[in-house]
Structure 1
């Protein structure tokens, strides 16, 4: 994200020190990652379906915010992955920008189209591509896990078997890390301010309802307010039923971000009505419900995309020379040269 805020400490099943972060803050990102992993179905790999994996993904969900401060070009390139600023009609930045429903296949094409429209990519953000890239990486991780798991179980050569098992452990660790990174960007996509030109107060736009222009609104909502009202149990209770049919990555990503964009106006109306203030020393329940619903939306989407990545991995080809995952799982192809590397 392009704005820094101070988030309160998270206390879920453990305590963690308060640090300066971006996006939802420690609490929100941890909760999204943990709730999603805890909701994974039994047909996903067993290493994911443990309390330790849920806690690990929760921690790793904060990684893209913790990367910040490495210097340039690192920061400039990655900061803009946390958001996509759409106008009220779902177009990138202005009416000259493309619709979120018309995202080009490549980020380079997206960049070129924005530049041709006189829009800075750094101002617009590229969150859709961060989500899509993260999902595709998870598919690759799962494909390797399928191959390594299948071949380690049938390998009779002790040296090869030991290598397969060691590489499987490496890939499991990488998968948790990559799932955490995907969790972060999906979490960013569930926060209305990450999808709108009205990200720091309503801004210099027509404002007939008199919404706030306070530049503190964004940070207070996603950080201190969220940390006070959200809990793992509440986020899990608010998660929706899986939606896994008719999957298309670009369409799914656009629909997810449009759904969040539709919450921008309700947020500002609720803020104007005092929904993010305290009532008798306690957070207003209207604001609490709104916040938890957004976190639950992020957790639901992460759960679904993880399941869809696992399913997609069955049809992948990996390694070099490439081998088909399905053939290795069926026992008709030996993947040794593809896995160890043929120079």
Structure 2
């Protein structure tokens, strides 16, 4: 890794450590271990040049969280929803829109049907309380593919790839953070920071469950890159629709949400020797690292092909799927 990259990683790592951790985020320990395990497990036919930047990608794993401070309100408003996907909040959608802006409009239309605009239901039918994580992931994936095509072109021409490689390392930091968050079950549910609504099993409503699980317990057990790597799945040569793959990943994470509350009820996160709690951390961080490795590898494989442009530009009003409210057609 270049000295400039190493210095930036070190400086920003110190900055992150000095800022109070925002809500809704794996702590630095887990995010770093996930990113490093993902990059270390890239197969030989993948973008192995990223391994030269593993310290940068691991050291800046929590970078997107510092964009969420209320001291930078424009950044916070845009960034906060990218870290969650609270699917119970939008069960009215039979199919998730293949456009961030179509999703926003669908939420607004639904909010306007709520009888009491001051009700909790109305106040939570917006992107702040639903999240936009899958859009953040697929948008970041597109940037990876485009950047990897540039890397390939420069390499084929015998030119220096150093700068595009640095840009790609940054893009991996960004997508890696969202994927890492998505692997944490409390990022995929309205019960992200305390149980909401009917609570027949008496789960905690204490907001601190989020940090007690993902930061305090993770730090207590001293999670390492090697422990995450041991739980990384074999390389999945992914095919099929990317957006559907991301949604399935988040659905799988959500299925583990109640398990977090069950363990909390047993005070498992207060004891570093809780095997069940440890196993959950290992499984979920392993799932995050596997997904990141697979998407980075998939992007590299996709980048070997020239861009395939749709028959009709998505911004063209003549596109059959064009939506004048968004000024574009959804992605295919």
TM over 0.5: yes
TM-score normalized by the length of structure 1: 0.77
Aligned to 2:67: 67
CA shift, 1:15, in A, is 10
Q: 2:238–2:298: 8 Å Cα contact kept in structure 1?
A: no
CA shift, 1:309, in A, is 0.3
Q: Unaligned 5+ residue runs, structure 2?
A: 1-12, 112-124, 309-332
Aligned to 1:265: 258
Q: Give, in whole Å, the separation in 1 of the partners of 2:202 and 2:48.
A: 52
2:214 to 208, 214, 222: 222
After TM superposition, where is structure 1 displaced by more than 6 Å over at least 4 residues in a row?
14-17
Say if 2:299 is the partner of 1:309. yes
Where 1:61 maps in the other structure, the secondary structure is coil
Aligned to 2:317: none
Where 2:191 maps in the other structure, the secondary structure is coil
Where in structure 2 are the equivalents of 1:169-184 lying within 5 Å? Answer: 169-184=162-177
Q: Give, in whole Å, the separation in 2 of the partners of 1:238 and 1:183.
A: 17
Q: 1:32–1:187: 8 Å Cα contact kept in structure 2?
A: yes
Q: CA-atom RMSD, angstroms? A: 2.0
Aligned to 1:327: none
Say if 2:121 is the partner of 1:120. no
Where 1:276 maps in the other structure, the secondary structure is helix
Where in structure 2 are the equivalents of 1:1-343 lying within 5 Å? Answer: 18-19=17-18, 20-22=20-22, 23-50=25-52, 53-69=53-69, 71-87=72-88, 93-96=89-92, 98-99=93-94, 102-118=95-111, 119-152=125-158, 164-165=159-160, 168-203=161-196, 205-229=197-221, 230-278=223-271, 282-317=272-307
TM-score normalized by the length of structure 2: 0.79
Q: Unaligned 5+ residue runs, structure 1?
A: 1-13, 88-92, 153-163, 319-343
Bigger mean CA offset, 223-232 vs 27-36: 223-232
Q: Deviations over 1:102-129 (max 9, x none)?
A: 2212111011111111121222110110
Q: 2:16–2:63: 8 Å Cα contact kept in structure 1?
A: no
Between the two proteins, the alignment pairs up a number of residues equal to: 278
Aligned to 1:341: none
Q: Give, in whole Å, the separation in 2 of the partners of 1:207 and 1:308.
A: 41
CA shift, 1:46, in A, is 4.0
Larger gyration radius, structure 1 or structure 2: 1
Q: Give, in whole Å, the separation in 2 of the partners of 1:45 and 1:241.
A: 16
Q: 2:43–2:235: 8 Å Cα contact kept in structure 1?
A: no
